[in-house]
Amino acid sequence: MAPARRFHVRTRYVFLTGVAIAAVLSAVFVSQLTRLTPRVRERIVEALSDRFGSEVELDDFQASIFPRPEIRGGGLVIRINGRRDVPPLITIRSFSAAASITGLIGRPLHLRSVTLEGLSVYVPPDRYDDDPEDDSGVPDSPRGRLAPPAAHPPHPTPALGKSPLVIDNIMSTNARLEIASKKPGKLPRTFDIHELSMDDFAFDRPATFRASLTNPKPKGQIAVEGHFGPWLRNDPRGTLIGGNYVFDHADLGTIKGISGILSSAGQFDGELERVTVSGNTETPDFHVDRAGQPVDLKTAFEAVVDGTSGDTWLRPVNARFLNTEIIANGAIVRAQDIKGRLIALDITIPKGRIEDVLKLAIKSPQAPLVGEVRVVAKMRLPPGEVDVPERLELDGRFDLVQATFTNYNVQRRIDTLSRKGRGDDDLSGKSVVSGLGGRFTLKHGVLTLPDLTFRVPGAIVQLSGTYGLESEQMDFRGNLLLDASLRETTSGYKAVRATIAQPLFRRKGGGSKLPIRVSGSRKNPSFGLDVRRALLPG
């Protein structure tokens, strides 16, 4: 055969062989493509079912390579152990993902990015029963929950094995997280998450995340970043979480009775059921609506938060405004059978200024008295729709080390009282009130002082009565104890009458004891002898 002919035969043979190989490869490739969708679908369903210990439903799913490797689907529902009497653990309306060819066919299944629409996550309670006691045996009442839950021993690293699914980045918009209450009939805690991004998501290690959401009360924007996981399928509430947060432009006006724009930043770490949070807040225009006098309020705090219920235990909060520091410890817990939360705190003012405290309570820009104050009290703020000052309850004791009244007429009367109590005619100098203090309670906007006492040189005043924060009306009755006799407090013909009356007002150990009454308004108080008790002693 001629060389040219042999060349053409060889070329044709090579060409036909190449065509045959290409055809075979194409057939194999097409076969693999037709099997790609069910294979990837099966692997995703198997991974989710195994790691969440749940039944997985997937209505729509497609995997493709051209024009680029990707998957799309919708109607993803993950049910806890297949249960249909409770909401699904996870619901996703639709999703799409980008990947490489090796990512789709290799192990583990590796997706570069996933975009979710209509994500809803429901964290179940530990159990479903009608037992009125929680797992610790504490009755379901606010009083029983004023102590934080005991810390669980550290979780050992779960032996989860290599994750069958790895996702470089997950993006979700307008997601919802619901955390069920352990108590039957109580609504779950709900968080609307505007934007959520997770990096390096897998079932065998924590994922980093960033999220932004709106806090309902006080209303404001929260930006969070940190780590979450790995998910513990047998103990979801023990899943680890930690990171940093920024809470901006929180409108305290959404809480009836107070106002101001709060900002806060801090850190959090722990388990979903018990997270330790520490941080700082600043409210440059904080005020109680009734008084309407803004102050720059700053706090530093540490708290334990039950992320499944929202109950919070403060330990402690250090608050400062003007020249006064307040230290508070206590709890903010969900109230029983009432919408809202009960705030129960132990409050201490180790060294403050009474004019600072009064600035939050009264309308007048000038405090009625100034001086150093110390306070120890229990505060209780039940939930409800009325303003904070109407709901606020206080029970404690205060002591003013030294104080002077800012009202000229009041201070003049105090000076006169001191002068007469000593039997002294010297009109110079200002008398400083000392030993002003006593027990107090506040309820329904009425301040009750059952044993108010104060001293000035030469006299002691003992009073018991009430003061309305809204009306600013007072009604106090008590005794004025003078070191001097009645005769020594006056002169002229009045001294004669005082000598005659002295036996009625004699004070054991010397001096005089006069029944008195203080009434009227804060601006125009009335001081005088309680004639009824003077004429009918005992």
Three-state secondary structure readout of 274-313: EEEEEEEEEEEEEEECCCCCCEEEEEEEEEEECCCCCCEE
Q: What is the domain count for the chain? A: 3
Q: Are 139 and 125 in contact (CB under 8 A)?
A: no
Predicted confidence (pLDDT) at residue 139 exceeds the cutoff of 90: no
Same domain, 258 and 370: yes
Rounded Cα–Cα distance for residues 358 and 467 (Å): 13
Higher-pLDDT residue of 429 and 31 is: 429
Residue 250 lies in a domain: yes
Higher-pLDDT residue of 164 and 503 is: 164
CA pseudo-torsion sign 155, 156, 159, 160: positive
Tokens of residue 156, six digits: 């050992």
Same domain, 182 and 91: yes
pLDDT in tens, 428-456: 555 566 778 899 999 988 999 999 888 87
pLDDT at 417: 64
Place of tokens 């790895």: 166
pLDDT at 431: 56
pLDDT in tens, 201-249: 998 889 999 999 887 778 888 999 999 988 887 777 788 899 999 998 8
Tokens of residue 197, six digits: 């991004």
pLDDT at 31: 44
**What 3-state DSSP class applies to 475?**
strand
In this structure, which amino acid lies at residue 141? S
Q: Band the pLDDT of 105: cuts 50, 70, 90.
A: confident
Rounded Cα–Cα distance for residues 310 and 322 (Å): 31
In this structure, which amino acid lies at residue 494? K
Query: Mean pLDDT, the chain, as a whole number?
Result: 79
Residue 138 lies in a domain: no
Q: Detail the DSSP E strand segments found in 289-432.
A: 295-305, 312-321, 324-334, 341-353, 369-381, 393-405
Predicted confidence (pLDDT) at residue 133 exceeds the cutoff of 80: no
Residue 56 lies in a domain: yes
Q: Are 353 and 375 in contact (CB under 8 A)?
A: no
Q: Could you tell me how many helices (H) and strands (E) the chain has, helices first?
A: 7, 24
Same domain, 174 and 255: no
Same domain, 177 and 298: no
Exposure letters 469-485 (e unless 16+ CB within 10 A, then b)? beebebebbbbbbbbbb
Residue 390 lies in a domain: no
Q: Are 481 and 462 in contact (CB under 8 A)?
A: yes
pLDDT at 263: 92
Rounded Cα–Cα distance for residues 328 and 97 (Å): 49
For the entire predicted model, the pTM comes to 0.73
Lowest mean pLDDT among 29-43, 297-311, 518-532: 29-43
pLDDT in tens, 371-406: 899 999 998 888 877 777 788 899 999 998 777 777
**What 3-state DSSP class applies to 339?**
coil
Contacts for 218 with CB less than 8 Å, ≥ 6 apart: 250, 251, 252, 253, 254, 255, 262
Lowest mean pLDDT among 27-36, 170-179, 186-195: 27-36
Q: Which of 182, 205, 228 is the last residue of a domain?
A: 205
Residue 10 lies in a domain: no
SS (H, E, C) 247-279: EEEEEHHHCCCEECEEEEEEEEEEECCEEEEEE
Residue 263 lies in a domain: yes
Containing domain of residue 53, as a range?
Answer: 31-125+163-205
Residue 14 lies in a domain: no
Residue 216 lies in a domain: no
